[in-house]
Amino acid sequence: MTPARMLAATKRWLRGLTMIRLSDRQALSIAALSGVLLIALIVIWLSLTTRTALLNQQIDRLDAQLASLIDEANQTWAEIGKVTAATVMENRARQLGFQPAERVEYLISDAEEARR
């Protein structure tokens, strides 16, 4: 549809609206109903935007909590790595009185004997 045709169609539609004859009571009723509908839509929009803002705040708090928990887990793994390092374990074992084995003996057993 060309712009000229769209303009002509819009003019015809507006002329059709001006030809509608409404009483004052009908016009007031339509205006009041339109106002109530507009207010209802505004209230719905405000409630949705408020709910969205609250959910965004909750998501931000949960993201911060997740980051904190990840940091704590990483610190725990780092501490586990330090405590279980071979040199640390050897020093602790020596403090507890353990010593390296001077002689190692292996026990070889038959699988059949082990089952009995």
User: CB under 8 Å to 22, separation ≥6 — which residues?
Assistant: 30
The span from the CA of 56 to the CA of 49, in Å, is 10
Burial class (CB in 10 A: 0-12, 13-18, 19+), 82: exposed
Domain count, the chain: 1
Enclosing domain of residue 81? 8-97
* pLDDT in 10s for each residue of the chain, 116 residues: 788 888 888 888 777 767 777 787 888 888 899 999 999 999 999 999 999 999 999 999 999 999 999 999 999 999 999 999 999 999 999 999 998 888 888 877 777 766 66
Residue 39 included in any domain: yes
Residue 112 included in any domain: no
Residue 108 included in any domain: no
- What local confidence, expressed as pLDDT, does residue 114 receive? 62
Residue 3 included in any domain: no
The span from the CA of 27 to the CA of 30, in Å, is 5
Residue 73 included in any domain: yes
